[in-house]
Amino acid sequence: MEIRLFCADLQALEDPALFRQLYEGVSETRRAKVDRIRTGLGRLQSLGAGALLEASLAELGVRAPCPVEDANGKPCLPGRAGLCFNLSHSGAKVLCAVSDRDIGCDVERIRAARLKLAQRYFCAEEYEALLRCGEGPARDALFYRYWTLKESFLKAVGTGLRIPLNAFCVLPEASGITLRQQVDPRHFELRDFTAEGYRFAVCSAERPLDGLCLRTRDFTEIAALLR
């Protein structure tokens, strides 16, 4: 199965008509989740992420999915062991990854690097690389590169932040991203992307990521697909 990695921009959902059309097209489970959220941005993020997932699954023949959480709290699709997904959102972007193996993804809007957090929670090589960058955009970009790569790995493993961020290292190199870890015996691959002031990362268990690209989807198209 081809790994699918999609992102979408939530600004389109500020149009009330499109928001309503998309809301009516998603599953009852997703609508209930959106209804429980009180903040405007949170509602957009929940609806957008859910719709992006449901559209991606619909193209694989899965309609109105009802994700549940496994024993570790990782979202999964009951009765579909060969179909895995992960979602993330930050600011105006939502991200969805779908695979037939465990997969994790993360998106973060690039802001000022949180150096104290990196000193406390990142591994030594990552923190020292941030120091070498000096203050400014290069350090900010590197911090969020590390953050999204590390988050995507934790989400692929499925244990979340119960694993300390300094228990493993991600080492971006010219030839690719090296992952040094003793958390999970499986082979993992990482890829990341930058677009429009955001950092995107994906981590795949036992599936190569050669040729993977980040594809953008439009919510008008998604609303029509889910109608």
Which residue ranges make up each domain of the chain?
Answer: 4-226
The average pLDDT across 192-204 equals 97
149-187 tens-digit pLDDT: 999 999 999 976 678 899 999 999 888 899 999 999 999
Q: What pTM did the predictor assign? A: 0.95
pLDDT digits (tens, 9 = 90+) for 1-37: 889 999 999 999 999 999 999 999 999 999 999 999 9
- Residues facing residue 215 across a β-bridge: 6
pLDDT computed for residue 161 by the predictor: 64
Does residue 96 have a pLDDT over 80? yes
**Dihedral, CA atoms, 98, 101, 106, 107, nearest 10 degrees?**
-30
For residue 198, which of 5, 13, 9 has the smallest C-alpha distance? 9
How far apart CA 170 and CA 180 sit, in angstroms, is: 6
CA-to-CA separations, 43 to 19, 87, 101, in angstroms, rounded = 10, 15, 29
Q: What's the topology of domain 4-226?
A: Ribosomal Protein L22; Chain A (3.90.470)
Using a pLDDT cut of 70, give the percent of the chain over it.
99
Token pair for 83:
């179909």
